Amino acid sequence: MTRSTSIARVAVASTLIALISTQPAWAWGHDGHSMVNRVAAQYLPSDVPEFLRSKAALDAMEYLGPEPDRWHNKAEQELRDQESPDHFIDMEYTSLVGTLPKERRDFITAAEKVVADHPELHLTVSRIGFQPWAVEECWQKLKVDMREYRKQLAAKANTEPAQLAVVYDAAILGHYVGDGAQPLHTTIQYNGWTGPNPNTYTVDHKIHAQFESTYVSTNIKRDADIAPLVAAAKPHVIDDEWTQYLDYLKHTNSFVEKTYQLEKAGAFNDLGTPEGKAFTAERIAAGAIELRDLIYSAWVHSADPIEEYKGPQ
């Protein structure tokens, strides 16, 4: 597909989605996010500090899994507006940006040029989404606090405050990583098909919540459906977290049409179908596996030598 063809296709879709609201800022609902976080922590390797695998940490990870979605009440509108784009990324639009820079402000600069060059898309930068930058920034915070935990441990100081920071960082990271496993959080087709629709996929604005919340809460069980898939995947250390996470998002995005195909076949209605259940469990488990490996990698790389910050010079 040529770049001009890609732009034309996105333009058609954009004129339609301009009539509806921006992406919903939730994925997996309360139950799915809780599963991602708890199972990820449960299957951390044994060389990660024990406090991160304790019952208290598992309980906190589970509770905090949905935390960023709790920030979206209209009573806190400024917080909601600022944070909502961190939950999704419309990859049809990022293809117009090209190689995605690791720093958020560099992406915003590049995306502003796309917005200016393509007024026919009726875009704003925030409508493209900031999902991978939310993950990168959370991962770096986790690594920093793990480094501080190491310092406190080496100094034989009280490590409990650092432990609290680490668990909180890991839990918030888990929410955004879980978002990244949900195919409808990577596309303009996030809640009903827009644009040319030769396969007659649903155009109702119901598929998003039906798939990630209603169906999950009714049919997916943490210990029976998610934990075995995570346990079977061997933990590994990620050395280039930015590139790896973008690949993770691309893989998730490859399931967008599959999600619509399953919905069309009734896979997410009530008890659904075996294929729908297997697909949903695999996606939630993929989030837990990615989170576990990112937490593990943050721990390993928190031991890397760094130049200490000494304040303004």
Helix, strand or coil, per DSSP, at residue 77: helix
* Mean confidence (pLDDT) of the chain: 92
pLDDT: which is higher, 19 or 91? 91
Q: Residues 92, 93, 96, 97: is their CA dihedral positive or negative?
A: negative
What's the pLDDT score for residue 14? 42
Question: What mean pLDDT do residues 276-283 have?
Answer: 98
pLDDT digits (tens, 9 = 90+) for 209-261: 999 999 999 999 999 999 999 999 999 999 999 999 999 999 999 999 999 99
Confidence of residue 18 (pLDDT cuts 50, 70, 90): very low
Question: What mean pLDDT do residues 290-294 have?
Answer: 98
What's the pLDDT score for residue 15? 38
Q: What percentage of the chain reaches a pLDDT higher than 70?
A: 91
What's the pLDDT score for residue 11? 41
Confidence of residue 307 (pLDDT cuts 50, 70, 90): confident
Q: With contact defined as beta carbons under 8 Å apart, do 276 and 206 qualify? A: no
CA 27: distance to chain centroid? 8
Tokens of 161: 């405050």
pLDDT digits (tens, 9 = 90+) for 124-159: 999 999 999 999 999 999 999 999 999 999 999 999
Q: With contact defined as beta carbons under 8 Å apart, do 87 and 26 qualify? A: yes
Confidence of residue 26 (pLDDT cuts 50, 70, 90): low
What's the pLDDT score for residue 241? 98
Question: Is 311 a residue whose pLDDT tops 90?
Answer: no
pLDDT digits (tens, 9 = 90+) for 34-63: 999 999 999 999 999 999 999 999 999 999
Domains parsed from the chain with CATH numbers: 3-301 (1.10.575.10)
Question: Is 122 a residue whose pLDDT tops 50?
Answer: yes
Angle between helix 29-42 and helix 274-301 axes, rounded to 10 deg: 50
What's the pLDDT score for residue 4? 42
Tokens of 99: 């190689």
Q: With contact defined as beta carbons under 8 Å apart, do 208 and 263 qualify? A: no
Question: Is 19 a residue whose pLDDT tops 80?
Answer: no
Minimum mean pLDDT among 47-56, 96-105, 233-242, 302-311: which range?
Answer: 302-311
pLDDT digits (tens, 9 = 90+) for 191-211: 999 999 999 999 999 999 999
Beta carbons within 8 Å of 24's beta carbon, 6+ residues apart? 190, 191, 208, 209
Q: Residues 85, 289, 217, 54: is their CA dihedral positive or negative?
A: negative
pLDDT: which is higher, 14 or 32? 32
Confidence of residue 309 (pLDDT cuts 50, 70, 90): confident
Single pTM value for the model: 0.91
